[in-house]
Amino acid sequence: LLKEEESAKTVDANIMLAEKVTVVFTKSGWLTQRKGFDVDTSTIQLKDGDQIEKTMEGKTNQPVVILSSSGRLFNMKVGEIATGKNFNHINSVLSLGNDTIIDILFAEENKEYVVSNDAGYGFIVDSKEFIVKAKAGKNFMSVGEEVNINEFKELKEEPFVICSSTD
């Protein structure tokens, strides 16, 4: 007797494995990534005069979120960041214009953040709002002249947020 085999299962080629990765961002805007967590950043060779601004641990399937000084929010995939001893500049991946980077982080599901500026405006946002489809980013926070945006502050389990003002 002949028996029909079960049909083969297809795999979506767009699915990315969730491998551990550390992303390094320098003060001059250079990015690189290393496999795994707990990377010894002292072994990373930087250009003369440059320093590490931030290191972030995440997974290769998480988007990297960038907040710019104009209040625009951008996303990039970990795969767009150079690996090994190589670096690429943030402006080679994103269209930031004259903006500077205020903060950069991995978007993690089910996290809330406080986003604020030094003019006293702020709000709580769920990390799902950090996802941006457009390469040019999206307007995330309105800022006027002489107003500076603060870094993202993750809300932990504490039930209160303390705010202060000089007004």
Which DSSP string corresponds to 41-103?
A: GGG----TT--EEEEEEEETTSPEEEEETTSEEEEE-GGGS-BTT--EEHHHHS--TT--EEE
DSSP-derived 3-state class of residue 19 = coil
pTM for the model: 0.78
User: Which has the closest alpha carbon to 25: 97, 96, 98, 106?
Assistant: 106
pLDDT of res. 162: 65
From first to last of its 167 residues, the chain has per-residue pLDDT tens of 565 555 555 445 455 678 999 999 999 999 999 998 988 888 888 889 999 999 999 999 999 999 998 889 999 999 899 898 889 998 888 888 888 899 999 988 889 998 898 888 888 999 999 988 888 888 888 887 888 898 998 888 766 666 666 66
pLDDT of res. 16: 60
Cβ–Cβ < 8 Å for 90, 66? yes
> Given the structure tokens 């953040």, which residue do they identify?
113
User: Which has the closest alpha carbon to 73: 127, 128, 31, 136?
Assistant: 136
pLDDT of res. 21: 93
pLDDT of res. 57: 94
CA 166 to mean position of chain CA atoms: 31
Element (DSSP H or E) covering residue 123: strand 122-126
